[in-house]
A and B are shown apart, each in its own frame.
Chain A
Amino acid sequence: MFLLQQFAPAVIVAIIAVMLAVGITRWLSADWAKEIAFAVAVGAGYAAGHVKSTSWPAFPPVDATHWLLFLALGSILIGTFHAIARRHAAFLRSALFGVLLLATLGLLLRPKFKLEWSSIEGSMWIAGLTLVGCMVGWSIDWAIRSQPSRFSLLFLLVLGSGSSVALAFSGSLLLAQLAAVYSGVTFAVIAAGAIAGNVPGRSLVPCLATLFVGLITCGYWYADLPWNSGLLLAVAPASVFVVPSKSTPVRQALIRAAVAAIFAVLAVLLARRASPPIDYY
C-alpha cells in the first residue's frame, strides 16, 4: 500500500500530462503538428512525473540521475525536428539523435569519469552505450513505422514496467518510480492514440529511446542493477526485428509485447536473485 501511494502520484501526473497533450491533436489537422504534439506530450509528461517524484532539482543538477528530467525536456526539440523533417534529412535526424544520446550518457556518467574511469575507458563505455542507444532508437522507430498501429509501443510499455520492477529489486525505489513514470507515459500515448485515433509517430523516438537507455544506465551504475539484467533490458527492444512481418499490425504488436515480456521477466528474476532479502519495506 505504501509503495502504491509512493508510485501512484508520479504515474498519474505523467498520464494526465500526456492525455492533455495528445488531446490537443484532436484540434490539429496537419500530420507534422500532431507529431509535434506527441513529442511534447512524452517529454513534458515524463518531466511532470519526474518532478512529482523528486521535486524540481537545481540546474545543473548535483545528482546525475536528475539529468533525465532536463534531457527529456531537451528531447522535445529533437522530436520536433523529427516531426518537421520526418521524410527528409535522414542523416541530420540521426545525427541529432546521436548528439542527444551522447549528451545523455556523458552527463549521466560524468561522475564516473571524475572518480573511476580513465578518459579512454570512459570513452569506450560512452561509445558502446551510444551504439546500444542507437539500436534502441532504431528498434522503436522500426516498430512505429514497419506496420503502424495504435499498439506499436506495447512492447515498450512491457519493457518499461519490467525495468521498474527490476530497478526496485536493485535497491532504488526512485529509479523504479521513474521507470514507472516512463511506462505511464508509454501507456498514455497508446491509450490517447486509441481514443483520438492517432498512430504514434517517429517524433517520439528520441525521447523514448534516450530515457529508456538513461534509466538502465543509472540503474547499473548508481543502483545495483545486475549486469545481466541490465543487458537483457537493453537488448530487448531489438526483438522487434525478429517478429514475422506477415501478420496484421495489431497481432504483430501483441507478439512483440509477448517477446518483450520474456526478456522483462528474465531481467526481473535476475535482479530479484541478486537482491538482498527484502525484509524491511
Chain B
Amino acid sequence: MFQLHGWEAVLFYVLAIMALFMGVFVVTARLAVHSALFLISTLVNIALLFILLRAEFVAGVQILVYVGGVMVLFLFVIMLVQTRAEEEARVRLYTRQSTPAVLVAVLLALSFILAMQPAQPAFRLPETAAAQTAAAQTVDASESSTMQNTERVGEALYRQAALPFEIASLLLLVAMVGAVLLARGRKQEKLYE
C-alpha cells in the first residue's frame, strides 16, 4: 500500500495547503503579474510534491520547463500587453457568469470530497501490517533510488515511447514557427512579403 509516514505526511499537508492557497490567489489576483508569481509558487509546490512521490526527474522537468521557460514567456507577454486599467480598478475583473461558476466549483469540490470519504479506509494500511510494510517501503525506496527511477523513465522515453517523443519534437517546432508567425507585427509582415 501507498502511505506516507512521519515528516513526509506533515510535508505533504504543508505543500498541499500552500499549493491550494496559491492556486486560489492565481485566480483572484487583480494584476496579471501577481497572478503569474503566485502560479510560479504553485508550480514549485507541485514539483516538491512530485519529489515526495519519488518522481525526481519529473520534478526537475517541471521546474526547468514550467518555471524557467513557460512562466518567463508569460511574464514577457504580460509586460507587452499590460494595460493601466486593471491596476487602477477601472474595469471589471470577472465575467458575468462568475458567481454560478464559483458556486458550481465549490459544490463539485464538496461532492468529490464526500464521495471519496468512504474510499479512504480501503487505501489505508491495516494497523498490524503497518510496521512491516513501512520497513518494506524503506527497502524499496533504497533500491529504486533517484538514479534508477530517472534511468528507467529515460529508457521508457527512448524505447517504448520513441515515436511520441519524435512527434513531440515536431510539435514544438510547429508551435515555435506558429508563435513567431502569429506574433509578428505589420512592419515584419511587410519585410517578409
Whether A associates with B in a native complex is: no
